[in-house]
């Protein structure tokens, strides 16, 4: 008789081990991938325009020096004329309008700029810059100028093309939309790249979509910090996000200060108005005002702004945007030639300094040619990333629908402890950066609605696991 062997406790079959719980990132990655995919597809045209126009703008600084060489430079002479004599020469050639500011020659071979406002045919937001040889008083030309950096027609046209496509205020929405999403697309791509960095480390021996993915991820990872910086600084002077940032700085007491232009003393309003309308020679005149500013340590380049009325002072401010920044300013009483107020850049609030540096770095001024080359490299990188991204989109749908999308429903796999703070963050971003928050909320709402419609029709598909790219 055969007896079946007894089964001991050690030999008993064990229950299957529970599946390991998904990490927060494993649940969140499909959502990040889906958002990165759709943001890349839908926002990329705006980013492409911003990159192309930004590339042109970065190159416009050097182009401007070549195109306007006759107006900008002069042979070096032995002795410069007084600033007042140079302004008189400019006014003789161009008596129209009023003197808005004077920028004395900052270098031995540079011209003096006399800026005139109220000129017929010149944009009210611009001035007419009259270029004067500081040694001979010869007027070498006159060009329309825009902005504190002294942009001339070529750079102004490219600047406005980059900012608003020459569509005015409505056109500024395009650049704000691009800036609002650039950091989100770059940040999402950076996170995705780090999660797959081992798989994408080697390019040799790969081809097709995998190679493009590796190039897209690698270049994007190296350029991500630059993209995030450009996005953040670009938003500081945008229409909606810029206004919110300005209000926040004001609430924190971090707005950019300005020197007081009120004339002081019992003589205010008497001698200041002695000059004819449109002349810059109020009171003690430009030469003594400039001497007083020099005594306070204001070196070139500087801009002298005449008094706005009989109760105002001259304002002399440094206008160097390259490193190190020169942004000190003084007010000078036109009646006495005494300095009535001094504002040092060193005394600016922290956020005011950071904003100034950030804008100047964004616009290619802070580090000159090196800065401009870096901006051009970032613009080229963004253009390549967009082209590679669209190429991958095409290849993803090969053999099925064109541009096969990432499956929807990824948000339902995100744990509540991650999803709730994420939604709160989106709400905050929607308030401060509306051209990011509102489209993002709309995308999520449409995605949910389409998912429900598909579910009711019995063909709902959810993102499961970790989808490939």
CA distances from 468 to 6, 192, 193 (A): 50, 11, 12
Omega of the bond leading into 183 within 30 degrees of 0 (cis)? no
Q: Are residues 107 and 232 in the same domain?
A: no
Q: Are residues 55 and 198 in the same domain?
A: yes
In a domain, 13, yes or no: no
The Cα 108–Cα 308 span in angstroms is 30
Tokens of 460: 């709902």
In a domain, 9, yes or no: no
Q: Are residues 55 and 178 in the same domain?
A: yes
Which one-letter DSSP state was computed for residue 200?
T
Nearest to 86 by CA among 69, 62, 61, 103: 103
Our measurement of the distance from residue 132's CA atom to the centroid of its chain's CA atoms, rounded to an integer in Å, reads: 33
Q: Are residues 170 and 143 in the same domain?
A: no
Q: Are residues 52 and 77 in the same domain?
A: no
Q: Given the DSSP bridges, would you call strands 314-318 and 139-145 parallel, antiparallel or unpaired?
A: unpaired
- The 314-318 sheet, strands edge to edge: 139-145, 127-132, 112-117, 98-103, 302-305, 314-318, 329-332, 339-343
SS3 187: helix
> What residues have CB less than 8 Å from 309, skipping those under 6 apart?
273
Phi, psi of 424, deg, nearest 5: -65, -40
> What residues have CB less than 8 Å from 12, skipping those under 6 apart?
none
Tokens of 290: 């400039």
Helix (H) or strand (E) holding 103: strand 98-103
In a domain, 112, yes or no: yes
Q: Are residues 172 and 57 in the same domain?
A: yes
Q: Are residues 176 and 56 in the same domain?
A: yes
In a domain, 362, yes or no: no
Nearest to 339 by CA among 373, 311, 315: 315
Our measurement of the distance from residue 399's CA atom to the centroid of its chain's CA atoms, rounded to an integer in Å, reads: 41
pLDDT tens across the length of the chain (469 residues): 445 555 444 445 555 555 455 566 676 777 788 888 888 888 999 999 999 999 999 999 999 999 999 999 999 999 999 999 999 999 999 999 999 999 999 999 999 999 999 999 999 999 999 999 999 999 999 999 999 999 999 999 999 999 999 999 889 999 999 999 999 999 999 988 888 765 555 555 566 778 888 899 999 999 999 999 999 999 998 999 999 999 999 999 999 999 999 876 555 555 544 454 456 777 899 999 999 999 999 999 999 999 999 899 999 999 999 999 999 999 999 999 999 999 999 999 999 999 999 999 999 999 999 999 999 999 999 999 999 999 888 887 654 544 555 666 666 667 777 778 878 887 888 889 999 988 888 887 777 777 677 667 765 554 544 444 5
In a domain, 255, yes or no: no
Q: Are residues 144 and 286 in the same domain?
A: no
In a domain, 368, yes or no: no
Q: Are residues 171 and 242 in the same domain?
A: yes
Tokens of 158: 């490219």
Q: Which residue has the tokens 């008993």?
A: 12
Q: Are residues 133 and 190 in the same domain?
A: no
In a domain, 423, yes or no: yes
Q: Domain count of the chain?
A: 3
The predicted model scores a pTM of: 0.85
In a domain, 41, yes or no: yes
Where residue 329 sits, what CATH number does that domain have?
A: 3.10.450
Q: Are residues 171 and 56 in the same domain?
A: yes
Helix (H) or strand (E) holding 422: helix 416-432
In the listed set 122, 151, 180, which residue is the last one of a domain according to the structure? 151
Q: Residue 112: which domain range?
A: 69-151
Q: Are residues 98 and 228 in the same domain?
A: no
């Amino acid at each position: 008789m055969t007896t079946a062997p007894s089964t001991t406790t050690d030999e008993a079959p064990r229950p299957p081990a529970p599946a390991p719980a998904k990490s927060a990132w494993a649940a969140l990655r499909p959502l990040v991938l889906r958002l990165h995919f759709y943001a890349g597809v839908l926002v990329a045209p705006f980013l492409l325009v911003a990159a192309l126009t930004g590339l042109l703008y970065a190159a416009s600084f050097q182009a401007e020096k070549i195109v306007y060489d006759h107006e900008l430079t002069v042979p070096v002479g032995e002795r410069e004329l007084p600033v007042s004599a140079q302004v008189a020469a400019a006014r003789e050639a161009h008596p129209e309008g009023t003197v808005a500011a004077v920028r004395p020659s900052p270098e031995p071979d540079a011209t003096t700029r006399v800026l005139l406002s109220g000129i017929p045919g010149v944009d009210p937001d611009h001035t007419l810059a009259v270029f004067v040889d500081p040694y001979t008083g010869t007027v070498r030309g006159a060009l329309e100028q825009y902005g504190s950096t002294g942009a001339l027609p070529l750079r102004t046209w490219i600047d406005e093309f980059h900012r608003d496509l020459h569509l005015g205020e409505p056109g500024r929405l395009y650049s704000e939309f691009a800036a609002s999403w650039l950091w989100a697309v770059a940040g999402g791509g950076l996170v995705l790249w780090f999660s797959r960095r081992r798989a994408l480390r080697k390019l040799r021996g790969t081809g097709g979509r995998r190679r493009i993915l590796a190039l897209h991820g690698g270049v994007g990872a190296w350029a991500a910090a630059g993209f995030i910086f450009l996005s953040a600084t670009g938003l500081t002077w945008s229409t909606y996000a810029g206004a919110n940032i300005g209000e926040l700085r004001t609430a924190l007491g971090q707005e950019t200060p300005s020197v007081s232009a009120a004339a002081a003393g019992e003589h205010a309003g008497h001698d200041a108005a002695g000059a004819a309308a449109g002349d810059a020679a109020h009171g003690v005149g430009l030469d003594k005002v400039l001497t007083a500013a020099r005594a306070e340590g204001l070196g070139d380049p500087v801009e002298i702004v005449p008094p706005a009325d009989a109760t105002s002072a001259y304002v002399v401010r440094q206008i160097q945007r390259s490193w190190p920044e020169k942004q000190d300013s003084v007010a000078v009483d036109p009646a006495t030639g005494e300095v009535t107020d001094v504002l040092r850049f060193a005394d600016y609030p922290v956020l005011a300094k950071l904003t100034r540096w950030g804008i100047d770095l964004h616009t290619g001024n802070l580090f000159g040619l090196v800065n401009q080359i870096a901006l051009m490299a970032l613009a080229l990188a963004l253009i390549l990333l967009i082209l590679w991204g669209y190429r991958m989109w095409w290849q993803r749908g090969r053999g099925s629908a064109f541009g096969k999308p990432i499956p929807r429903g990824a948000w339902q796999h995100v744990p509540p402890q991650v999803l709730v703070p994420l939604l709160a963050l989106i709400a905050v971003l929607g308030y401060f950066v509306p051209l990011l928050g509102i489209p993002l909320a709309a995308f999520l709402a449409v995605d949910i609605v389409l998912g429900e419609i598909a579910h009711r029709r019995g063909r709902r598909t959810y993102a499961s696991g970790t989808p490939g790219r």
